[in-house]
Amino acid sequence: MNEHQPVELVVALSAARKALHLYPPTHPKYAEAIGSLLDAAAACLAEGPFTLNVHLGRLYHGSQVLSVDAPGLRSMTETLESHRVESLTLHDGFTQRDAETLIEVLGLRASQTLEVGEELEKRGVSTVTISALVDEDAEEAEERDRLRQQDRALYNRLIGVLRTLTHRIQKTGQPDVGDAGIIVEGILGRLMEDSAAVLGLATMTGNTESNLFHSINTMIYSLILGIGLGIPEEGLTTLGVSALLHDVGKIAFDMTDPEDAEKARYLHPKIGAEVLSRLPEQDRTPMLVAYEHHMGRDGSGYPEREADYVTHPYSRIVAIADRYDRLTTPLPDGLAHTPDQAVMQLLRDTLTTLDQTLTRLFVKHLGVFPVGCVVRLSDQSVGIVSGMTDDSLRPRVRVMYDPTGLAIETPKDVELTEVGLEVLETVDPDNLKVRISDHL
């Protein structure tokens, strides 16, 4: 085989593809083009299987770079690249039918779902083998989507379990901690694997049943802090169950009635504690947490108590988690703190109501720009914080808009520490015109 033959093969491939585009398959011009392709292939196959490689916009045969000056070479390179073909190998026995099928398949519109190798196999061609270019970004995005859907399904399942549990308490007055434990363990496993993903879930809020979302989110934030404190697993389950049921006293009220809702505000800790005192289990922590989660460090809050009353540490954890979720959840008027504003507010609250040490630790685990923050970066692109890095000022960001303000079709996660970008400012999420939780 001389050095021109690989080029001639590619020229013939390109010409045949063009012919298929211009003429019906029965046209003599097409038959002629296929004939040339078979001749070129035969010359290349004289010494055994023949491989073409595509790399960074160039075609290679072995170490030989094929000149792009030959007619059709550039367009064939582009075709192979857009079809994610990394290498194409012809084998002995390449027939006219194989040649026609190869040209047909290369003429199909490139898409994420079209795999040239599989398509050829499906059409009965065994003399052409393809190795597909692995698009790492697309694979990563696919895997991320898969996990995301799994997490959403988990969250929705847990909402369902909690709904049933709440109805049962409403009907019988009997809480069932077994089901609550299932919810906690469901999230706990995922939290240990990928806390950023679970924090992304906690940005979900419900227009209806907001109490269910609030309970699950308060549980998630409590567990984040609990894990950060190094509480062992059994303790975490208790903490999670306590957080999940902290507002259980509200079920005694009609929260859609403003007068009832106001009463609930003051009375739900006491009523919740009463409900939870009926738990058959020995563990009194959920009861205590329901009773104490609105007690401020400075003696403010409710129920009223002696000046030297000391709250359970889990109550203090749940109070922080509860506050953070309430701050970041939109009120009926649509207003909510952005996550970074909520963090600042928590720190201010340590002067009066919240436990200082625990709040600081919680803030440390959320970062300066917590998951869900919308940020403008130093290159003017805009994205949503999707996770933390070692540098609390440079989180991981899912870039949604490029520097010119155009929406990015497949948003990519970038670690600011790796790409040398900084956060310029946080942006009002309303400007982004997307629901944050849809993208985490």
253 vs 401 by CB, closer to Fe ion: 253
Give how far Cα 145 sits from Cα of 115, 183, 349, Å: 20, 23, 37
Q: Residue 402 carries which DSSP code?
A: -
Amino acid at 277: S
81 vs 322 by CB, closer to Fe ion: 322
Ordered DSSP codes for 223-255: HHHHHHHT--HHHHHHHHHHHHTTTGGGGGS-T
Task: State the nearest-atom distance from the C-beta of 409 to Fe ion, in Å.
Answer: 39
Separation between Cα atoms, residue 23 and residue 178, nearest integer Å: 71
Segment near Fe ion (CB under 5 A); pick from 50-58, 235-243, 321-329, 403-411: 321-329
45 vs 239 by CB, closer to Fe ion: 239
User: Do strands 423-426 and 374-377 pair parallel, antiparallel, or not at all (unpaired)?
Assistant: antiparallel
94 vs 213 by CB, closer to Fe ion: 213
282: phi then psi, degrees, rounded to nearest 5: -75, -30
Segment near Fe ion (CB under 5 A); pick from 23-31, 36-44, 241-249, 301-309: 241-249
| Residue 8 binds Fe ion, judged by CB under 5 A | no
Strands, E assignment, 266-358:
none
Task: State the nearest-atom distance from the C-beta of 116 to Fe ion, in Å.
Answer: 55
Among 8, 247, 292, 349, binds Fe ion (CB under 5 A): 247
Task: State the nearest-atom distance from the C-beta of 167 to Fe ion, in Å.
Answer: 19
Separation between Cα atoms, residue 219 and residue 226, nearest integer Å: 10
Give how far Cα 160 sits from Cα of 6, 134, 147, 153, 183, Å: 62, 39, 20, 10, 10
Segment near Fe ion (CB under 5 A); pick from 195-203, 204-212, 239-247, 338-346: 239-247
- Residues in contact with Fe ion, counted by CB under 5 A, come to a total of 2
- Whether residue 115 contacts residue 132, with contact meaning beta carbons closer than 8 Å, is answered with yes
| Residue 322 binds Fe ion, judged by CB under 5 A | yes
Task: State the nearest-atom distance from the C-beta of 151 to Fe ion, in Å.
Answer: 23
Task: State the nearest-atom distance from the C-beta of 294 to Fe ion, in Å.
Answer: 6
Segment near Fe ion (CB under 5 A); pick from 19-27, 174-182, 196-204, 320-328: 320-328
Under rule CB under 5 A, which residues in 345-404 are in contact with Fe ion? none
Separation between Cα atoms, residue 347 and residue 194, nearest integer Å: 26
Segment near Fe ion (CB under 5 A); pick from 165-173, 240-248, 306-314, 376-384: 240-248
State the residues that interact with Fe ion by CB under 5 A. 247, 322
